[in-house]
Amino acid sequence: MKIGEKHRGKITNIKPYGAFVELDNGTVGLIHISEIKTGYIDNIYHTLTVGQEVLTQVVDYDEYSHKVSLSLRTLEEDRHRFSHRHRFSNSRYKIGFKPLAEALPVWIEEAVHYLKQDSY
């Protein structure tokens, strides 16, 4: 089991601090209440039910004790993610700092000329 993997499972038990999920591979993991959804959860029993099928993502895995920390929130954030179009961007050109590097000598020359002008 690796961090970031997605597994289907069924909620087997709910406590005030989180929900226990039996995953499709037989492992039992915990979804902490802070990993259920974005925002505040007033009552976990109103959000989840025993027997509910869920798709979870592995957030942490302890290889020695085989404890699995799961999240529903990370998958929720993936669903809400959409590409943002930047109106004033030339990122599609992949030119990086090249224009600045080319303009720098000219700027230095202009600055030196300006400073020499003021010193008289």
The whole-number pLDDT of residue 15 equals: 93
Sequence letter at residue 35: E
Of residues 15 and 78, more confidence is placed in 15
- Judge whether 44 lies within some domain: yes
69: domain CATH number? Answer: 2.40.50.140
- Judge whether 109 lies within some domain: no
pTM value is: 0.62
Of residues 83 and 49, more confidence is placed in 49
Strand partners, 112: none
pLDDT at residue 88 tops 60: no
- Judge whether 54 lies within some domain: yes
